[in-house]
Amino acid sequence: MKSFKLNKVFRNLVLFSTFQGVGSGIFGIFMMWAIHATFQNPIYTGMAGFMFAAPRIASFIVGPLVDRWNKPMLLKATSLLQFSAIAAILFTSIFLYPNIWIFLAAIFINAIAELFEKPTFKALLPKIIEEDDLVKANVFIELVGIVAGVIVGAGILAMMIADVAFGWIYGVNAVFMLIALLCAFLLKSDEAENKSSTNIKTYLGELKEGFSFVLKGAMLPLLISAISVSFFANIASVNLPMFAEVHFGAAFGFILLSGLAVVGSLLGTLLFGAVGEKFKLGKILALLFVFAGMVRIAFVGAIGVHLILGILIFILYEGVTDTIGMFYYTATQKLPQKNLIGRVSTSFTSLRATSNATGSLAGGVLGVLLANVDMAFVIQGASYIAIGLFLLLSKRIRGLPKVSEFKSE
């Protein structure tokens, strides 16, 4: 971990990531609850999920730009957009009564910012640390962010239990986004912008290069599984506020589950740090998916019978899925060449986002049609088991080495 202590750019990146991650987490979680609590309409929560996901369909467009442009400057711009989004909601909550269109517009602005922010961060990290430290760096950043998230989440939960006005939570969210913006100005890089030809032919060629990479080799089955996960996860996600209200009542249940998800993420990060470099990716990924599906179904069965058992199973599920996510995240950093990471990441995201958006709309419709909201989560669990079996049957996935032994394709 020597490089983490001595690399000032990395330390500043961790600081930025922590405040930006907590701010984004509050925004993503609380916006869904605020819309559900305000309008009591599953269609509106489905629309909100769609607005979070839809802009990412165009992620592939920004890939060549992320690879070319100065990345610290991009992070400054995205932080400003995210602060503006929550500031607009805070302003209207004080002086006006927000309607659904104000919420959706703010979500859309935030999603546009994340369209650039996530691949930029992913592409910047391998440029400032040694490749051998990449797994440890990802774990370190995740751990710091989760610890901060748990602390802040506990505060948000206390505010919700005290039934404070939503405006106070919008204010807390705005403060975190403002600090993230200030931290972004600490980021420096020796990287110069690529000022070579940017004509349309060159640009389209770079787009094609990113798409071509994700549609070949081991990336293809990884992509297929990720698309499937996104669809069924979003079906469940947009129904989580209703699920929490049925099983816990009011705001407490949704915020509790959201806070427990952060605890589960801590478990998943520790698990990834322990096994991430010890097992072949193909085998461990397939087994984790099957296990996650079984745990998800068990959670639905347990939550209505024994609350504490259900909560423990929920934390376990979140831990396993977070571990899966970190395997995917690291694979998309290590399989491509460094100058391709932005394009590969955004191409991957675009294809997944189509599934995210479709899943959100489908979840909104199912929330109206299903007699029991629990079925949305049973469907998700069954889909994860099927995805695990798919990966287990894929020769390309079974042949993948340990993450630490990955070589650029």
pLDDT band at 345 (very low <50, low <70, confident <90, very high): confident
Question: pTM of the full predicted structure?
Answer: 0.66
- The reply to whether 2 falls in a domain is no
Residue 402, beta-bridge partner list: 280
> Residue 387 has what pLDDT?
92
Pick from 40-44, 198-202, 313-317 the range whose average pLDDT is largest. 313-317
- The reply to whether 339 falls in a domain is yes
Pairwise CA distance, residues 82 & 30, whole Å: 15
Is 260 in contact with 314 (CB distance < 8 Å)? yes
Pairwise CA distance, residues 326 & 397, whole Å: 16
Quick one: which of 80, 119, 120, 84 has its CA closest to 105? Answer: 84
Lowest mean pLDDT, pick from 96-100, 149-153, 179-183, 210-214: 149-153
- The reply to whether 4 falls in a domain is no
Q: Which two tokens stand for residue 214?
A: 């994700």
Q: Where are the alpha helices (DSSP H) in 162-280?
A: 166-184, 200-214, 219-237, 240-247, 250-275
The number of beta carbons lying within 10 Å of the beta carbon of residue 278 is: 10
> Residue 232 has what pLDDT?
92
Pairwise CA distance, residues 120 & 3, whole Å: 21
> Residue 383 has what pLDDT?
93
- The reply to whether 291 falls in a domain is yes
85 or 137: which leads in pLDDT: 85
Q: In whole numbers, what is the pLDDT of the chain averaged over residues?
A: 79
> Residue 399 has what pLDDT?
77
299 has a pLDDT exceeding 70 = yes
- The reply to whether 1 falls in a domain is no
Q: What is each CA distance from 178 to 14, 79, 104, 208, 335, in whole angstroms?
A: 16, 8, 21, 37, 34
Q: How many domains does the chain divide into? A: 1
> Residue 252 has what pLDDT?
63
- The reply to whether 320 falls in a domain is yes
- The reply to whether 102 falls in a domain is yes
Pairwise CA distance, residues 397 & 196, whole Å: 37
Query: pLDDT above 70 covers what percent of the chain?
Result: 86
- Mean pLDDT for 138-161 is 71
> Residue 382 has what pLDDT?
93
* CATH code for position 75: 1.20.1250.20
pLDDT band at 1 (very low <50, low <70, confident <90, very high): very low
Pairwise CA distance, residues 224 & 390, whole Å: 10
Structural domain boundaries enclosing 185: 9-405
Write the CB contacts of 140 (distance below 8 Å, at least 6 apart in sequence).
Answer: 1, 4, 14
273 or 110: which leads in pLDDT: 110
The number of beta carbons lying within 10 Å of the beta carbon of residue 117 is: 23
